[in-house]
Chains A and B, each alone.
Chain A
Amino acid sequence: MKAEHSGSAKYLYLSPLTSWTGVTLAGSFFLLDPPVPSPSGAQTVGSFSALYRVTPSD
């Protein structure tokens, strides 16, 4: 999965994708990715960029 912004890959801990939220249910992983940082600095609290459901491959 790929977010809608780009930047340095050197310091991964600075990636906004470190602040995902996830839960498991009925064998699946539900992943809520954080909002994409806005260039204007607009408030993004409470929003998100994507919700994924991932099921095991086996």
Chain B
Amino acid sequence: MFAIDKNLPAKAGGPSAVVRIAHVVPHSPGYTLGPVVMTFPALAWGGSAPTWVYGGGDLWLYEWDNPGGIDLMRISATSGAVLQRVRVPKIWHPILAYNDEGLWIAASGQTSSPEALYLVAPGGTHASAVFHFAAEGFAKWVVASADDVWVNAQPRQVSDVGVVWMLRGPEAKPVWHVPESASLVQVFETLGGSGLVGDAADGLWAAPPTAYDEQQVVRIDPMSGALSIEAA
């Protein structure tokens, strides 16, 4: 586990926050905090906050506005040791996903970031741009499993219709792509970039609200992209 401390003085002024790894210990209070491994501005308007995902037995932690350098950290989920720091392009509001090919990272909103889906292979030392979003686009959501990745690509003009892609392998070769449906637009608008769960065996699922107190369950066929409403 890790902890984020806030309201510490920043070198350049204003509040900052730090990330420290927590280690479980048998005595009170049950944990100790290790050294600071990451520092970032804690200004709410900056949209800055670490993003993380577990994968391959490790915690992957990314912070785009890290004053110490833009980096992606791989931290052992068992020992808490920082195993690796990888420099990746500066990606505003990133989405992270992990599968057998490694860590996938893409921007999740209109941004000046490079418009690509990047892959950091297991043991790799750099991020490779393996899929480029059309029309200066970005990812609405990314789901990864085994050697497959599903990504909802949105052109920069949010009035344009997005496209859902299934990609396979380390080179992210397209398997199929379909225009996003109105139900999927609803998923992103209400749930953001982490709104879908699933894999190739079970399908991709989400439960977006359709009213304040009502929701529907939608499923995307992982092999065709066909969307169905399974419950409401």
Q: Do A14 and B203 have beta carbons less than 8 Å apart?
A: no
Taking residues whose C-beta sits less than 8 angstroms from the other chain, chain A's interface range is: 20 to 34
Task: Say whether A28 faces chain B, with CB atoms less than 8 Å apart.
Answer: yes
Set A3, A22, A52: member contacting B213, Cβ < 8 A = A3
A31 to B51, CA, bound (A): 24
Q: Do B212 and A20 have beta carbons less than 8 Å apart?
A: no
Q: Which residues from A are CB-within-8-Å of B5?
A: none
Q: Which residues from A are CB-within-8-Å of B147?
A: none
Interface contact tally, CB-CB below 8 A: 94
Q: Do B198 and A29 have beta carbons less than 8 Å apart?
A: yes
- Interface hits, B204-224 → A, CB 8 Å: 205-215, 217, 219
Among the 9-residue stretches B7-15, B57-65, B104-112, B189-197, the one with 4 or more Cβ atoms under 8 Å from chain A is: B189-197
Could you say which of A1, A2, A29 has the most chain B C-beta atoms within 10 Å of its C-beta? Answer: A29
Cβ-closest 10 pairs across A and B: A24-B202, A7-B212, A15-B209, A29-B205, A9-B211, A17-B209, A3-B213, A24-B198, A17-B215, A15-B212
What are 14 of the A-B contact pairs (CB < 8 Å)? A1-B214, A1-B217, A1-B231, A4-B213, A7-B212, A12-B212, A17-B212, A17-B213, A17-B215, A18-B190, A22-B205, A29-B203, A54-B217, A57-B228
